[in-house]
Structure 1
Amino acid sequence: MTPSIPYWRLSGFYFFYFALLGSTAPFLGLYFAHLGFGAERIGELVAIPMLMRCVAPNLWGWLGDTTGRRLAIVRAGAACTLISFGLVFYSKSYAWLALVMALHAFFWHAVLPQFEVITLAHLRDQASRYSQIRLWGSIGFIVAVIGLGALFDRLSLDVYPMAVMLVMLGIVFSSIWVPNATPAERPELEGQGGFLRQLCRPGVLAFFVCVGLMQVSHGPYYTFFSIHLESLGYGRGTIGLLWALGVVAEILTFLVMAALLSRFSLRQVLVASFLLAALRWLLLGSLADHLGVLLIAQLMHAATFGSFHAAAIHFVQRSFGPRQQGQGQALYATLAGVGGALGALYSGYSWAGLGPIWTFAIASLAALAAAVIIAIPEREKQV
């Protein structure tokens, strides 16, 4: 990193932000199960934060592009996330928890799209080094899943809300430490037009449809993977380690992502990511009781999140002008939220009615559909 890039300050924010994801993705469903909710209610509660990504990122993205005060939005969003999640201590009823999930997610999902713009603004012509900063988010995720997995093996899940709030406090402090930056002005491409015109190009629309499908396919994984493993006899500490293994593979992918993108097109990287996701969900649904297969499936997280996310961030940056960067990143987050919410909802009902095998099989079909869409030859010049 060159001295002009605040590497550790940016990395520190990603560390705590994704430590929060590591605190929720593996354990939120377990916590709701601990409170006595059934699969359908768990699926609905997990879907609510994802549904908020349909609204919050676009609202905050528009505000960030209009005012240019992205860092202020990040800091306010981090503080309000902490405060609103604290309401969980008031009641554990379904209706109250649904409110808490919606309220804290409204502010949480304001944060990352704006911070992505700030990070890329700091990097400027070194955007290929984004993965070297983003990998610290993966490290934060690993620290959270391993640490909390060990903690919950020793203590009751009753301490879960307090543990999550400590991570949120880390996000608040790290956001204060980050210096501001604005995207460099660059000439608008001929015929580029405004945000909607850029969005309506065929390759861009195809990409965002695939983003939604990819997140639909992750529904069973983020909602029921830990519950699935616990039902197969794995301990919570082991479950945390298995989540961490996937993120280790993700980190290794981030380290080599610049080299991969210099050798392969974004379309090729995305197709490979979707196809490996389709295979991974089949393995998790049918053969998760075999530890060797489970380890291989977790290593595939390198593709289903690592290479997919890095390629997607580059695609969004390339597809939108400097005045639409916030809205582009927000739309990416929104489509991910729509897909994630639909994935959580369908998996809740499917899990109760059809069981793990068919639930993960549906996820595999969604990822396969994304691969087909993005692989259409006519899209090659746009993706």
Structure 2
Amino acid sequence: MDKETKKNIGVLQAFYFFAFFASGSLIPLLSVYLSNTIGLTGFQIGVIMSIGPVITIFFQPIWGILSDKTNSPAAILKLCTFFAGICGLGYLFFDRFIWIMAIATLLAVFQSAIVPISDSIAIKYASKNNYQYGNIRLFGALGFGVAVFIMGRISDVEPTSIFIAFFAALIICAATTIKMPKEKGETIKNPLKGIKELIVYKKYMFFLAITFLVFSPNLANNTFFGLFVENSGATYSGIGVAFLIAVLSEAPFMKIAGGMITKFGLLEITLFAGAVSLIRWIFYFTAPSLALVYVTAFLQGFGVGLFIPAGIQYIRKIAPVSMMATAITFYSAVGNGLGNWFNTFIGGIILDHYHITDVYLFFSILTVMGIILNLYLIREEKQEALLKKQNLIEAG
């Protein structure tokens, strides 16, 4: 690997670290802040935390299309990270539910572009230079884990510090985009036509459904896990420790994901990730002790650390090259957007009427459905491969 490539990979890794440091400063601790400091109800927290995902549903595709149309993904990232950071400071000035909703909405508009566009750049650059995407993305897991641990301790003293950290990390991200490799996709002449092609593609839609059912509960867990750990008897610092264990466990699995995918296959890895997530949700439903929550938090490494690289690579495998950024963006809109919103919103209602452990029963039911679809898609691909093999034999 030459010096220029190493530098560019280092820039991408730094971007992921600080982008997810920002998310780790805000997302896991915001629900606890809204509950303890602002005094919102479970339903109100569910509404606030689900605004980001629902905005993502509509704006991620727009950002993806804009990225493909303009061939300027790094410039869009610079714009969105800067303004998302500015919006995050808005939480410092308002404590009424309606104004917090407004801040969450505005922030989500800009934040929704960050993950899919950076993924599109990183995947293309890594592929071009024969480098594992997972080795870049794992820095996101590191940033998220470090942020929750540090900010968990600081917010014990000053809860509003999470918003300052969010702002600072995203400003650093905006600065790193200046040195980011100038990866560009194919220019889309007719974006709507490309979207229609993606929607009618059977494998793509099936995998979107799997992502919705299996991966989205893991994202929604970032909202409820802090409340779950607090309910088990932890303080802000304890919440930070639990998140640190959970999120840092993602990094080694992202590191080895490439080898496991090569050995077992993409869909087999997403199936395994889903099975481990199911075990975790069922265990949380039983209301284990705080010590056991800490001990088993590493299971997130299987559920998230393996699904992310396998999912992205599967989309890259089946999507048209000319629509790569749009395909990844719609994939992210379903997982980070629609699925995350659905799980967070329904989870908030369950929390308001029942108990935090019942949220994990809900996650379990969805994950079982996703595993069934995953098995079906594996069977379809095997039958397709067998048919191709038979056709080749007959042709020969």
Structure 2-normalised TM-score? 0.89
For the Cα contact (< 8 Å) 1:216–1:366, is it kept in 2?
A: no
Structure 1, 119-128 or 232-241: larger mean CA deviation: 119-128
Q: Deviations 1:134-166 (Å, cap 9, x if unpaired)? A: 11111111210111011123x131333223222
Name the CA distance, whole Å, in 2 between partners of 1:368 and 1:14: 31
> For 1:131, which of 127, 134, 158 is the aligned residue?
134
For the Cα contact (< 8 Å) 1:20–1:167, is it kept in 2?
A: yes
> What residue is the counterpart of 1:189 in the other structure?
none
Name the CA distance, whole Å, in 1 between partners of 2:245 and 2:204: 32
For the Cα contact (< 8 Å) 1:199–1:205, is it kept in 2?
A: yes
Return structure 1 stretches of 4+ with deviation > 6 angstroms.
none
1:104 is aligned with what amino acid? L
Name the CA distance, whole Å, in 2 between partners of 1:201 and 1:379: 14
Q: Deviations 1:303-338 (Å, cap 9, x if unpaired)? A: 221111110110111122222011111111110111
> What residue is the counterpart of 1:379 in the other structure?
380
> What residue is the counterpart of 2:164 in the other structure?
162
Q: Counting helix residues as a fraction of each chain, which structure ranks higher? A: 2
> What residue is the counterpart of 2:76 in the other structure?
73
For the Cα contact (< 8 Å) 2:68–2:185, is it kept in 1?
A: no
For the Cα contact (< 8 Å) 1:120–1:127, is it kept in 2?
A: no
Report matched runs for 1:339-378 at 5 Å: 339-376=339-376, 377-378=378-379
What is the Cα deviation at residue 2 of structure 1?
4.5
> What residue is the counterpart of 2:389 in the other structure?
none
> What residue is the counterpart of 2:228 in the other structure?
228
Structure 1, 38-47 or 350-359: larger mean CA deviation: 350-359
- Residue 119 (structure 2) pairs with residue 116 (structure 1): yes
> What residue is the counterpart of 1:24 in the other structure?
26
For the Cα contact (< 8 Å) 1:283–1:297, is it kept in 2?
A: no
For the Cα contact (< 8 Å) 1:18–1:140, is it kept in 2?
A: yes
Name the CA distance, whole Å, in 2 between partners of 1:220 and 1:13: 23
Report matched runs for 1:231-250 at 5 Å: 231-250=231-250
Unmatched segments (≥5 aa) in structure 1: 186-192
Q: Any idea what SS the aligned residue of 2:113 has?
A: helix
Name the CA distance, whole Å, in 2 between partners of 1:35 and 1:106: 23
What is the Cα deviation at residue 295 of structure 1?
3.3
Identity of aligned residues (%): 20
> What residue is the counterpart of 1:148 in the other structure?
151
Name the CA distance, whole Å, in 1 between partners of 2:93 and 2:155: 22
Name the CA distance, whole Å, in 2 between partners of 1:50 and 1:237: 27
Structure 1, 72-81 or 164-173: larger mean CA deviation: 164-173
> What residue is the counterpart of 2:390 in the other structure?
none
> What residue is the counterpart of 1:205 in the other structure?
205
> For 1:51, which of 26, 51, 54 is the aligned residue?
54
What is the Cα deviation at residue 290 of structure 1?
4.6
Call closer, same or farther: CA 1:146–1:58 in 2, change over 3 Å.
same
For the Cα contact (< 8 Å) 2:274–2:371, is it kept in 1?
A: yes
Q: Deviations 1:227-256 (Å, cap 9, x if unpaired)? A: 221122112212211111112221110111
Name the CA distance, whole Å, in 1 between partners of 2:181 and 2:129: 18
Q: Any idea what SS the aligned residue of 1:301 has?
A: helix
Call closer, same or farther: CA 1:58–1:127 in 2, change over 3 Å.
farther
Call closer, same or farther: CA 1:330–1:286 in 2, change over 3 Å.
same
> What residue is the counterpart of 2:313 in the other structure?
314
Name the CA distance, whole Å, in 2 between partners of 1:174 and 1:284: 39
